[in-house]
Structure 1
């Protein structure tokens, strides 16, 4: 009688091959990012004036504690260790013989990059880009919904028109304010091209090393047990992650009321500043919704109203990669933003600031929510693959 159960050895081998295929591109990404970090460190060592971390307002913890030359040396060392570890991760049999070493070293290196290159400007750049994208995406989504799903689109259009009306008539938003913001936004991206490039390299390094740590760590019983716990509690973890940007969204929404929170004085709340705040608040609200998508049906199957894609499965990487990138950006900015908050006049103000913008909580929690989503989707694929294997075995037996 032919067994319909796949051999345990073949399943383990297939799983190991899948993890190796996942590890390699992120190890290559870590190699490239580590090379960029090494190059930046060497440039700052030879040309100290080119170091953007010496500019006022930069709050890298390592930069605050070290002299410029020492800081540059630490950056070079961090990049060099990354290059070495990437070589180990890319070697043959890395997951079989050196998996615990690779996992531990990658986790330590990701934390080191956060301490050495974490900068408050990272979340600022990302917040502006995401907020602007959220506004554009919201307008396009509303337009599509009006045509393909009027029951959703028309109420959403009325809500947006009502918010726009309040922003214009009550809060004082003007077209000149919007255009002034856009001009400042574009010029700011150009003027800060080098810091943005450094932030991109550091975020890429942390993201890549985090994924390498998780993939290599899954070869250990402890990490697999933790991953199983995450999947069981994914709804709670995801809801907690969605709460991260909510206080900031509420604060910015209050600018449309007679009681604006954390806003400039009434005479200083110009239309351009108002446009900036509302855009950032829109990004925070979009972040809440997208995070909840990790446990909603539309996070697995595209809604029917979406042209061409409606009804099709959502590729897991379409949610995992942006989600991990966002979690990395938030986490890498958490320490420097906390350091900035210490400049407040009182302990109460420090606590309030870190509750309104809880990067220290939001970033790690979002990373866990994305990890749980990825693990669950991977489990679904395994079940489908096992069912297909059983079906083929039954057919062969017949």
Structure 2
């Protein structure tokens, strides 16, 4: 393990110890517990006098093991992952990711169209023309499409502002978990690799994992698409949905469907070479690091959201939530799919410099 990684782990452990002491000694600083607005978590059931000492212990253990021998680092990394990945995790991380993707996805699509139009591509020019026609029609007819988008963005901004610093703790915990995940990967990377990670073996089980992972977001996509119908499937809906709420459902469904399609890229040709419709990069090899980092990030988010979802579904007596949001299964399958992709392509000719090896 490099000195840089050890230093990151040490600084993180010092910060965690300080935060634990703050929570333990100053109840007003504790962001979780019964008063927490994020209910889908284990910390919603724990108060400062429990989580505070546990956080202090996590920081001290981190400092004790980070500079120790290999076996001690491996055991400590697993313990830290369990603490940050189970005890302090919550499903808010998935909300941040999903709503962020719902906003950035259309922006990225618009960027692709603009770049393609600038390069004289037919579909880019057609897309710009279609957007211009829609904008003129919106002004002439007074349909209010532009104001609809503004209301939607305002709703999302207000929702995030309402949670304020609470989501900051969610992101901080995710960052801490990511640091310990890197430390664990480095600590466990020893010995002769087993047969199951050979490229030919990874191709077999990776295909099954990839197809399974691609199916996982589909129930949520269908759930949100019902918001476009007169029969929205949502226990919180008591009357007709506003147009901006329907737009929100459409964009969230689009994000989920896009995730399913991108997952299939791990076993498709366009997951190896950028397709023709991608401006600038079309025809070039896809850097191995790109799908590995992107897919691994989503898998990690699913895993972080899983404990809170499972606990909440048990407490509320609604196990069906795990069918609609199958984060535990999705996270495991997607992680396996990404691992298989990396094992198959890390040494591919012309792509090794972009890989993780």
TM-score w.r.t. length of structure 1: 0.73
| 1:262-313 alpha-carbon deviations (Å, 9 max, x no partner) | 3654624222322222222121112112212222222222234433322222
Is 1:74 aligned to residue 54 of structure 2?
yes
Looking at structure 2, the residues matched to 29 and 295 of structure 1 have their Cα atoms a distance apart, in angstroms, of 35
Looking at structure 1, the residues matched to 24 and 189 of structure 2 have their Cα atoms a distance apart, in angstroms, of 38
Show the counterpart of 1:56: 36
Is 1:287 aligned to residue 259 of structure 2?
yes
Show the counterpart of 1:342: 314
Show the counterpart of 2:157: 186
Judged with a 3 Å threshold, the aligned counterparts in structure 2 of structure 1 residues 343 and 309 are, in CA distance, closer, same or farther, namely same
Looking at structure 2, the residues matched to 266 and 189 of structure 1 have their Cα atoms a distance apart, in angstroms, of 23
Q: With CA pairs under 8 Å and 6+ residues apart, which has the higher RCO, 1 or 2?
A: 1
Residue 45 of structure 1: CA displacement? 2.1
Show the counterpart of 1:354: 322
Task: Choose from 219, 227, 236 the match for 2:197.
Answer: 227
Show the counterpart of 1:4: none
Show the counterpart of 2:292: 320
Is 1:206 aligned to residue 206 of structure 2?
no
Looking at structure 1, the residues matched to 111 and 212 of structure 2 have their Cα atoms a distance apart, in angstroms, of 28
Is 1:236 aligned to residue 197 of structure 2?
no
Judged with a 3 Å threshold, the aligned counterparts in structure 2 of structure 1 residues 342 and 318 are, in CA distance, closer, same or farther, namely same
Specify every segment of 5 or more residues in structure 2 that has no aligned partner in the other structure, as ranges. Answer: 138-142
Task: Choose from 250, 269, 273 the match for 1:297.
Answer: 269
Task: Choose from 257, 260, 282 the match for 1:310.
Answer: 282
Residue 29 of structure 1: CA displacement? 4.9
Residue 251 of structure 1: CA displacement? 1.4
Looking at structure 2, the residues matched to 278 and 309 of structure 1 have their Cα atoms a distance apart, in angstroms, of 29
Show the counterpart of 2:17: 38
Task: Choose from 337, 340, 347 the match for 1:379.
Answer: 347
2:5–2:183 contact (8 Å) kept in structure 1: yes
Residue 317 of structure 1: CA displacement? 2.0
Which shifted more, 46-55 or 145-154?
145-154
Task: Choose from 218, 236, 245 the match for 2:217.
Answer: 245
Is 1:85 aligned to residue 44 of structure 2?
no
Show the counterpart of 2:242: 270
Looking at structure 2, the residues matched to 185 and 324 of structure 1 have their Cα atoms a distance apart, in angstroms, of 26
2:17–2:57 contact (8 Å) kept in structure 1: yes
1:43–1:50 contact (8 Å) kept in structure 2: yes
Looking at structure 2, the residues matched to 105 and 33 of structure 1 have their Cα atoms a distance apart, in angstroms, of 14
Specify every segment of 5 or more residues in structure 1 that has no aligned partner in the other structure, as ranges. Answer: 1-19, 89-93, 166-171, 386-398
1:178–1:271 contact (8 Å) kept in structure 2: no
2:148–2:243 contact (8 Å) kept in structure 1: yes
